[in-house]
Amino acid sequence: MGKREPGDAQPYFSTHVFVCGNRRPEGHDRGCCASKGSEKLRDYMKARVKEEKIPGIRINQSGCLDRCELGPCAVIYPEGVWYRLDSREAVDRVIEIHIVGGGRVEDLLLPAGK
């Protein structure tokens, strides 16, 4: 597990969210996050944090996060907490409770180690 060292610079983003944007061909047995709407949900999340003027945050799209069956997936660093973001409401709750409030949205957390 990577660890921060005393000499490390402060992380450039306080909150760095990666939303899986992987798209597989229709019918692939693992499915994919893009087919479940992840691209639009990522755009929505980006717009919402801008509206809220949340400082030090970046919402990025990423390649396949390899948890396809559980998606649409997102991971928030540096804390390394994973969520299923399957609706605008889910995005709103993660912003409000986790990102702004420092809590966890228990019913949207991905299960450990699967």
Instruction: Give the SS3 label for residue 76.
Output: strand
Q: Does 6 bind its own copies (CB under 8 A)?
A: no
Cβ 37 to its own copies shortest distance, Å:
17
Position among 32, 49, 95, 99 found at the interface with its own copies (CB under 8 A): 99
What is the helix (H) or strand (E) element at residue 15, kind and residue range? strand 15-20
Query: Quick check: bond before 78 cis, omega within 30?
Result: yes
CB-wise, 27 or 59, nearer to its own copies?
A: 59
Residue from 43, 66, 89, 92 binding its own copies (CB under 8 A) = 66
| Of the candidates 51, 60, 112, the residue with the CA atom closest to the CA atom of residue 81 | 112
Dist CA 87 CA 108 (whole Å) = 11
Give the per-residue contact string, 35-64, with its own copies (x = CB under 8 A; - = no).
Answer: ---------------------x-x-xxxxx
Q: How far apart are CA 41 and CA 29, in angstroms?
A: 23
Q: Does residue number 97 form part of the binding site for its own copies (CB under 8 A)?
A: no
Residues near its own copies, by CB under 8 A: 1-5, 7-16, 18, 21, 56, 58, 60-67, 75-82, 98-99, 102, 104, 109-113
